Amino acid sequence: MVRPRSLGLIACAVLAVAAAVRADPDAPALLVPPALGRTDVVWISGRVLEEEHGQSGPPALRTARALAGSNRPGAAVKARFLGRTARTMSAHDGEFEAVISAARRSPFPPGRHLAEVVVEGVRARAAVQVVSPEAPFLLVSDFDDTVAVTGAASTADVLTSTFLRDAETQPAVPGMAALYRCLGTNGGAPVAFVSGSPVQLAPRLTRFLEKNGFPHAALYLRNLGPDTLSRYKEPVLERLAERFPGLRLVLVGDTGERDPEIYAAFARAHPGRVLRAYLRQATPTPGPASRFEGQLLFQEPAQAARDAVARGLADPRCVEMAFPKP
């Protein structure tokens, strides 16, 4: 058994080695996670790094390279989407957000489209889901221990998951991908993952979701730093509620951290906006029933799926096929 202290020392050593390994010390690198937009405007966010690190080597080294990357502030960023262009600059932490508005009489068509971001000749593409005005709701989900088995409540498990696994070896929570595919009717609901995983791991999370059959989703990840270890989820929920005022939300999380409290507070602050909150039991003792008042605590995704059908939030045929009754 690898002790937490040993894992911490391993992580520090790998980070030190990775910081010295650079694929190209002159060219910047771009991180542009999948995003959501409306038919009149899309928001394309990302980060500019000083250099691209190589992708060879074991998971620990590849992850450490990603986390050790330096940010590039003050970089000129150009974003293109369906013939429209916006320009902005990267901030002190390399972060940027380009806002691209549709032409006055030519709204962006609903569906999944590619955006392109260019910085100093380096190009990156990312998927943008233009949300249909007819979408049934917005599905907002946690990641760790909600759809991926990471043991977020344990430091040792988090370090193991971060440094010793990758998108190919990270276990998925059985049944959650099927649940998300069934949620919504008439083509499903747009999906956004809000995670405490560092933004540097966006490519890994995107690959994990694709590999395990989850619907295409936007990623809203945490800026890496000691001041962002908590309260990273609340601002994203508020921003999504503001940017999609016509959509109500279905929230999915787990019992390992503060999802029940965060979702309850959001529902109180936005009466009528939350259709349902689902909490996966990821810990042996999830807490008193009062912690989940007005929410559904479930052990198996089939429980959440059948509740969603009863509330008109999921496709009955999809649920029947994905979760057949014994």
pLDDT in tens, 14-54: 444 444 444 455 679 999 999 999 999 999 999 999 876 55
Residue 3 confidence class, pLDDT cut points 50, 70, 90: very low
The pLDDT assigned to 22 comes to 46
- At 247-297, the pLDDT tens digits run 999 999 999 989 999 999 999 999 999 999 999 999 999 999 999 999 999
Q: What are phi and psi of 99, to 5 degrees?
A: -105, 120
pLDDT score of 68: 64
Domain locations along the chain: 23-130, 138-322
pLDDT beyond 80 at 9: no
The span from the CA of 105 to the CA of 123, in Å, is: 29
Residue among 248, 252, 213, 214 at smallest CA distance from 233: 252
Which CATH number is 138-322 given? Answer: 3.40.50.1000
Residue 254 CA to residue 282 CA, distance in Å, equals 6
Percent of the chain with pLDDT over 70: 79
Q: Which residue has the tokens 């540097």?
A: 200
Q: Convert the pLDDT of each residue in 185-230 to its tens digit.
A: 766 799 999 998 888 889 999 999 999 999 999 999 987 655 555 6
Residues 254, 244 contacting (CB under 8 angstroms): no
**Token pair 């010295």 is at which residue?**
20
Report how far apart the first and last C-alpha atoms of the chain are (Å, whole number).
38
Between 166 and 139, where is the model more confident? Answer: 139
SS3 content of the chain, % helix, strand, coil (to 5): 30, 30, 40
Residue-wise pLDDT tens digits, 67-86: 667 899 999 999 999 999 99
23-130 CATH fold: Immunoglobulin-like (2.60.40)
More confident residue, 62 or 123: 123
Whether 23-130 shares its CATH topology with 138-322 is answered no
The alpha carbon dihedral of 320, 215, 243, 238 has a sign of: positive
How many residues are given for the chain?
326
pLDDT at 125 over 80: yes
Provide the β-strand partners of residue 113: 128
Answer yes or no: are the C-beta atoms of 126 and 114 closer than 8 Å: yes
